Structure 1
Amino acid sequence: MLNKLHKVHNSVKVWGLVVCCACASMAATASELPQVVDSAFRSAENKQRDQYRHPVETLSFFGIKPEMSVLEVWPARGWYTEILAPYLKDKGKLTIANFRQNDGSLEDERKIFWARLAAKLKQDIKKHPDHFGAVQVEEFDPPGLMQLQQVNQFDLVLSFRNSHIWNEEGYLLDVYRALFDMLKPGGTLGLVEHRSSRLSEISSRAGEGYLDEYYVIAVAQQAGFILADRSEINANPKDSKDYPKGVYALPPTLAMGALDKARYLAIGESDRMTLKFTKPLVP
């Protein structure tokens, strides 16, 4: 009898050890994201924007995990890339679908500028492999270049403040459909976008660069997504959304230059919707 009790006691101790190790592992995983955000690699300027972009809360809301395969669309200068890459480099995989590179054929000044941003980020990733790890770099240039030959490949697709550009050009639905195809069934699409003022159930006031939240949801649903959740993580009630140059008057762009600069700095970055969609397991 004593031997049996001794065996049970030892089993409980072993079981408790396993449970404690599992808890410690979960705690370590949960702490990885804040550690990456606080990394000395990130510049003081980029960290200053955390108060408006809330990277830990936003990525946690989207359900990111270190073992995921993640696609970031149009990362531009790579503000989020320098957080995502080190977080995913050991267990997961990061792919960025950035602007088309300039092979000499680009004529649009905006696309030429975007191409320079993409080239700079690609160089930064190559220059700092210890931080970024092995990031796969692709080109994404709607409406002609939207297929990455990666159907049902990603656990999580992320887009930060890009949808208004796709909408201005008339291919928002096409882009969302492309992203839908790239996600695994059951995968998540995380969107952050400048949010226009809602006037009623059927109308909104949208300055340059802003989109109506219900419109974005409707387009994503038309592409096949299911709205899983919405968050006010990136809301900014100070944003009146009625500036001469729209959202670009606010930081970080500050398109008005010295004119009322202190006012725009006091407002901070734009009021933003934060939307989480899922791709159905069954078509």
Structure 2
Amino acid sequence: MRRPLIALSLATMLLAGAAAWSSAPRAEPTMAAAVAAPTRTPANVARDRYRHPAETLAFFGVKPTDSVVEIWPGGGWYTEILAPYLAARGKLTVAAPPGRPTDSIVARLDKDAATYGKVARANFPTALGGTGVAPGTADKVLTFRNVHNWRMGYMREDKLDYSAAAFREIYAMLKPGGVLGIEDHRLPESAETGRERSSGYMKVSTVRALAEAAGFRFAGESEVNANPLDTHDWPNGVWTLPPSLQLGDKDREKYVAIGESDRMTLKFVKPAK
């Protein structure tokens, strides 16, 4: 009788072990694994050398348990990294104006449920319509190369600057102690401020003033996305450089050699109450 009892005990142990394994939480991905995710677009991966995603997101303090709002994700360059990184225990919300044609990542969310099935959607800024992010719900709000769009009045027929209102709405959606991370094309402080309305470049002082007027506290600046080869004075503004290359074949090799624009990388905090 001993052998059947031993076999039964072993079978019971194996079943218990399998049940424990199947119920164990999935391991959180590292940032390195998210950057190396096979679901990323190869053309986006090729631009890592300009955009330094792991270092940038580390500077903003993004954790895999955070509730993160990505403002105006565009084609989803950062969404491709944030979605798998936050999938296990965090939350990612992509926020864009209703019907914004350049937000091609939104069209991809339904096509790849395995990668993007948990990604929530919202609108921003709500002055342009739609339903925004609920107040006080985000740990991190991130936006990449978008403040200049608000400054230039993009998506408004009258082209009026709505950057101040945009910062106030971001402030409201963050929890106390939450972080706003900004990367944008950097205009030298010595340049004429009026160029912010046409060149795509912004002064750090302008972005800081907008954020601080909304209630944010400046928490630091990184040079991880700086490009000293960018002289900030191109005929078609920042869009002269890659990836836009608006001049086509004219001096193309020159602009490709310069690379993507010189960029500020700024971190702000909503003070804890």
Give the structure-1-normalised TM-score.
0.80
More deviation, 33-42/224-233: 33-42
Q: What's the CA shift string for 1:146-172, capped at 9, x where partnerless? A: 861500000000000000010112111
One-letter amino acid of the counterpart of residue 39, structure 1: A
More deviation, 132-141/208-217: 132-141
**Alpha-carbon shift at residue 44 of structure 1 (Å):** 2.1
Partner of 1:240: 231
Tell me the number of residue pairs that the alignment of Structure 1 and Structure 2 aligns. Answer: 239
Q: Does the CA-based 8 Å contact 2:182-2:266 persist in structure 1?
A: yes
More deviation, 191-200/63-72: 191-200
**In 2, Cα distance between equivalents of 1:168 and 1:205:** 10
User: What is the 5 A alignment of 1:114-193?
Assistant: 115-118=100-103, 120-141=104-125, 143-145=127-129, 148-169=132-153, 170-193=161-184
Partner of 1:75: 73
1:255 to 235, 242, 246: 246
Q: Does 1:226 align with 2:217?
A: yes
Q: Does the CA-based 8 Å contact 2:164-2:214 persist in structure 1?
A: yes
Q: Does the CA-based 8 Å contact 2:187-2:202 persist in structure 1?
A: yes
Q: What's the CA shift string for 1:166-192, capped at 9, x where partnerless? A: 011211110000000000000000000
**In 2, Cα distance between equivalents of 1:67 and 1:197:** 36
**Alpha-carbon shift at residue 142 of structure 1 (Å):** 5.8
Q: Secondary structure at the match of 2:110?
A: helix
**Alpha-carbon shift at residue 218 of structure 1 (Å):** 1.0
Q: Does the CA-based 8 Å contact 2:96-2:123 persist in structure 1?
A: yes
**Alpha-carbon shift at residue 214 of structure 1 (Å):** 1.0
CA separation of 1:208 and 1:231: change in aligned 2, threshold 3 A: same
CA separation of 1:122 and 1:65: change in aligned 2, threshold 3 A: same
What is the aligned-residue identity percentage?
A: 44
**In 2, Cα distance between equivalents of 1:56 and 1:135:** 20
Partner of 2:42: 44
Q: Does the CA-based 8 Å contact 1:204-1:212 persist in structure 2?
A: no
**Alpha-carbon shift at residue 121 of structure 1 (Å):** 1.8
**In 2, Cα distance between equivalents of 1:178 and 1:137:** 16
Q: Does the CA-based 8 Å contact 1:143-1:171 persist in structure 2?
A: no
After superposition, the CA RMSD in angstroms is 2.0
Q: What's the CA shift string for 1:127-148, capped at 9, x where partnerless? A: 1121223111122246433861
1:99 to 87, 90, 97: 97
CA separation of 1:203 and 1:75: change in aligned 2, threshold 3 A: closer
**In 2, Cα distance between equivalents of 1:142 and 1:245:** 30
One-letter amino acid of the counterpart of residue 209, structure 1: G
**Alpha-carbon shift at residue 57 of structure 1 (Å):** 0.2
- Unaligned 5+ segments in structure 1 are 1-27, 102-114
Q: Secondary structure at the match of 2:261?
A: coil
The structure 1 segments of at least 4 consecutive aligned residues displaced by more than 6 Å after TM superposition are 202-205
One-letter amino acid of the counterpart of residue 174, structure 1: A
More deviation, 54-63/203-212: 203-212
Q: Does the CA-based 8 Å contact 2:238-2:261 persist in structure 1?
A: yes
**Alpha-carbon shift at residue 204 of structure 1 (Å):** 9.1
- Unaligned 5+ segments in structure 2 are 1-26, 154-160
Q: What's the CA shift string for 1:188-238, capped at 9, x where partnerless? A: 0000010002228x9797560001111110110001000011110100000
**In 2, Cα distance between equivalents of 1:261 and 1:57:** 29
Q: Does the CA-based 8 Å contact 2:122-2:133 persist in structure 1?
A: no
1:269 to 260, 268, 272: 260
CA separation of 1:124 and 1:235: change in aligned 2, threshold 3 A: same
